[in-house]
């Protein structure tokens, strides 16, 4: 293998999530999720945007799969809408909802694209939130039942499964800062929600193992923070330790080691006694995994600070309340360097740090980058093309970092670019574009950007080329997909 080559059978994919692309919010039995409700709460989502239509993938999925094939993708990671297949979060499945995913999977397989299912990407059925949501233990139990239903419907054709996507965001942004659905702001509930998301992962993994063939591969996607201290001062180093516990070890401790570290419990003891952790929970959470997904965008820089009026630059929205429990005396700083349209610093060294850390800590579990990408202020040129050289440079540097981690011994087996399509970007509505395929949000036409053509070449050859301008590619990949 040359220095620029990826390993044989490396997965080059792209990722999406149900609420961000599907639309069809009230079709075929689907009922509201917490994001449908959140979007209708005044002031929560920029411009009052909703995912009611999103980019209409529910009706345009066949064209979207053809786009993936045109772009040489060999894997596609997508999420299931829980309220589309089990509208109340309990009881039998709605076959019309499952039929949509059956058709999508069959089309992917027909095009030679590996389907990779994520069971939960933040869209909890509203009825389960009304019953208490993730701070309640019953929600984890309902998730296991839901996992079993989906596995029973799709397990004959899907081998790659992820239980949760970024449980940190579900717990901390949904129940701490309130900038994500359901918009609650209780730091004790953050910790309860984190535990019950961990439990959902464990119970869901057990349910999948019971329902799926032995060849199935099951994992989870986390968004660990590459936490760095502002200085070597002992107080700053302790701030790093505390945020590492809250960002990372609260999830990977139980999932990978079967423990909540004592310093995490002690740091948060004024908020909770952790009595919601019941006998047997840690054993249930600590299930054998076939894959660990790493989602990475930017590092986190912290210091100790007694000034609570300092702006919080943690990259997680501007809510009045911090998402971080028991961390009021910790300051978050903007890391140096160029930034994306999200204001996130471009720094692939954080990805290398995380890959090497989890290579050491997992005992050999294969690693996948299940999200990585950047938002750009993309606009069509007068000739209708969309050029995004900044995104190409971003992808080049991060894919190069993946190669470096592999050379350093990490078992990294795939990369899923976020995202295939411009889409609904949560509380930012339609103001941020992460896609390598441009979507005109009025006509819903799809136009592959220069980065899509560049990534298609990497996927086709398995080689990371020398960085060159988009115009150096001889042929565009695919035609714009319009109505």
Catalytic residues: 166, 371
Residue environment code for 331-350, b if the CB has 16+ CB neighbours within 10 A, otherwise e: bbbebeeebbbbebbbbbeb
Contacts of 133 (CB under 8 A, 6+ apart): 34, 124, 139, 174, 175, 182, 184, 193
Q: What is the 3-state secondary structure (H, E, C) of 439-474?
A: ECCCCCCEEECHHHHHHHHHHHHCECCCCCCHHHCC
How many angstroms separate the CA atoms of 234 and 450, rounded? Answer: 46
Cis peptide before 14 (omega within 30 of 0): no
How many angstroms separate the CA atoms of 126 and 123, rounded? Answer: 8
Smallest CA-to-CA distance from 99 within 31, 178, 153 is with: 153
Cis peptide before 293 (omega within 30 of 0): no
- Both tokens of residue 465? 């080329």
Q: Any idea what DSSP says for residue 168?
A: H
How many angstroms separate the Cα of 330 from the Cα of each of 27, 345, 464?
Answer: 46, 20, 40
């Amino acid at each position: 293998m040359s220095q620029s080559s990826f390993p044989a059978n490396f997965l080059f994919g792209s990722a999406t999530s149900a609420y961000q692309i599907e639309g069809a919010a009230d079709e075929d039995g689907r009922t509201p999720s917490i994001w449908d409700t959140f979007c209708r709460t005044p002031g929560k989502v920029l411009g009052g945007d909703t995912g009611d239509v999103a980019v209409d993938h529910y009706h345009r999925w066949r064209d979207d799969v053809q786009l993936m094939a045109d772009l040489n993708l060999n894997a596609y990671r997508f999420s299931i809408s829980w309220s589309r297949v089990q509208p109340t979060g309990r009881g039998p499945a709605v076959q019309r909802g499952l039929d949509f995913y059956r058709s999508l999977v069959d089309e992917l397989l027909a095009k030679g694209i590996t389907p990779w299912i994520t069971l939960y990407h933040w869209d909890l059925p509203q009825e389960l939130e009304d019953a208490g949501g993730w701070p309640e233990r019953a929600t984890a139990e309902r998730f296991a039942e839901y996992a079993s239903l989906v596995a029973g419907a799709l397990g004959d054709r899907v081998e790659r499964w992820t239980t949760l996507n970024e449980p940190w965001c579900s717990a901390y942004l949904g129940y701490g800062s309130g900038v994500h659905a359901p918009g609650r702001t209780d730091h004790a509930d953050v910790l309860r929600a984190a535990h019950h998301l961990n439990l959902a992962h464990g119970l869901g993994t057990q349910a999948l193992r019971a329902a799926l063939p032995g060849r199935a591969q099951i994992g989870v996607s986390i968004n660990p923070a590459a936490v760095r201290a502002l200085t070597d001062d002992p107080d700053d180093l302790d701030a790093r330790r505390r945020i590492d516990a809250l960002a990372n070890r609260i999830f990977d401790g139980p999932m990978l080691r079967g423990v909540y570290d004592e310093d995490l419990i002690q740091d948060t003891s004024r908020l909770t006694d952790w009595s919601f952790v019941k006998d047997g929970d840690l054993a249930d959470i600590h299930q054998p995994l076939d894959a660990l997904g790493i989602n990475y965008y930017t590092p986190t820089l912290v210091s100790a600070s007694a000034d609570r009026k300092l702006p919080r630059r943690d990259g997680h929205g501007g809510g009045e309340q911090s998402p971080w429990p028991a961390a009021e005396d910790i300051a978050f700083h903007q890391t140096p360097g160029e930034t994306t349209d999200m204001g996130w610093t471009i720094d692939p060294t954080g990805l290398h740090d995380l890959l090497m850390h989890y290579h050491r800590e997992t005992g050999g579990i294969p690693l996948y980058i299940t999200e990585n990408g950047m938002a750009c202020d993309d606009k069509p040129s007068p000739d209708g093309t969309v050029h995004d050289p900044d995104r190409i440079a971003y992808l080049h540097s991060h894919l190069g970092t993946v190669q470096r981690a592999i050379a350093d011994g990490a078992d990294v087996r795939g990369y899923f670019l976020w995202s295939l399509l411009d889409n609904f970007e949560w509380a930012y509505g339609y103001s941020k574009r992460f896609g390598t395929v441009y979507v005109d949000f009025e006509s819903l036409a799809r136009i592959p950007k220069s980065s899509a053509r560049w990534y298609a070449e990497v996927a086709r050859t398995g080689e990371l080329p020398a960085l060159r301008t988009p115009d150096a590619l001889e042929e565009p990949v695919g035609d714009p997909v319009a109505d």
